[in-house]
Amino acid sequence: MVLGIESSCDETGAGLVRDGKLLGHAVASSMDEHARYGGVVPEIAARAHVHSLTPVVRRALDDAGLTMSDIGAVAVTTGPGLSGALQVGLAGAKGLAYGLGVPLYGVHHLAGHVAADTLEHGPLPDPCMVLIVSGGHTSLLLVRDLARDPIVHLGDTLDDAAGECFDKVARVFGLPYPGGPAIDRAAREGDPKAVAFPRPLTGPRDDPYGFSFSGLKTAAARWAERHSGGELPVADGAASLQEAVADVLTRKAVAACKEHGVGTLVVVGGVAANSRVRSLAEERCQAAGITLRVPPLRLCTDNGAMIAAVGDLLVRAGAEPAPLDLSIDPSAPLEYAALHPVARAARAAAATAA
């Protein structure tokens, strides 16, 4: 049984997975503490992880009806994310792995989002197309064996990620943090055709699978400015913005599936919880004969279960555990599911000794 620990941003998560089955998990969020600042404050997040980590692990074990002695391996997010937040999770995971005498695995946060879908729908098809959409990342990936093979990037965001666009525009619209859910709620009463917001990077000469949401964010801000002094039609603006984001994401994802002959699209990450992203992806996949897989809402946002899912895959694939000097990499690129960076000081000492 693998214990997974997630602490890359403002959620402290712990999950327990064995043979691809989720046994129990728990999450504590510090979102309310960040809301008054309009975004995540790294120091507040790190302190919240310190207070939450042990209770969250205990709650996950209670949820599964298990004890510490049942844990056979520990997996932890080692990047990307907030440096202080990652350090808290790694320190806790190292202590547990050392105290229990079990192997430790470093996991890439985004690979965790990919693996989250396996907890609901079973093993990923080989190959499959994965669209990751979150507050800090928007990527289109070709995935084969998640535990063994390199992950192929077909396209990534060139500036703002989709979730970041939602958060920043929500602030301009006077909506609360976090912006994604607030935009989704407001959009229910609006007209998605009310505002002709641009669809970035969808021209014939553009990057076919790259993403850019900075221009869309600016267009939404300019639209709001034109209503200064009067009542801002927030619902129409939210619905139109959401439609533009969903259109770009799903259009590129379905096109990539067709070009590469892939029959399954997996949409993961926090923005995968957006109602219009989910419904438009379903419409377009159905029309194209593509199978769509999206995790349930509880597994879309950051959680420990997704990290345990990767750890479980790594254990079953016979992957090497992490070294004792495992460190964090706050800006780690997504190349493999396992992420075992070593601290610079340790590397320098090893080089000197050699």
DSSP for 58-83, written as a single string: HHHHHHHT--GGG--EEEEEEESS-H
User: For position 307, what pLDDT does the model report?
Assistant: 98
What would the pLDDT profile of 118-164 be if each residue is shown by its tens digit? Answer: 999 999 999 999 999 998 899 999 999 999 999 999 999 999 999 99
pLDDT band at residue 230, thresholds of 50, 70 and 90? confident
Percent of the chain with pLDDT over 90: 89
Distances (CA, A) of 139 to 58, 71, 129, 151, 315: 34, 33, 10, 11, 26
Q: Considering the chain, what percentage of its residues have pLDDT values greater than 70? A: 97
- Average pLDDT of the chain? 95
pLDDT in tens, 259-289: 999 999 999 999 999 999 999 999 999 999 9
pLDDT value at residue 36: 81
> Once rounded to an integer, what is the mean pLDDT over residues 188-212?
93
**CA 15 to centroid of chain Cα atoms:** 16
Predicted confidence at residue 39, as pLDDT, reads 81
> Is residue 219 helix, strand or coil?
helix
Please check the confidence at residue 2 and state whether its pLDDT lies above 90.
yes
* Mean pLDDT score, 206-231: 93
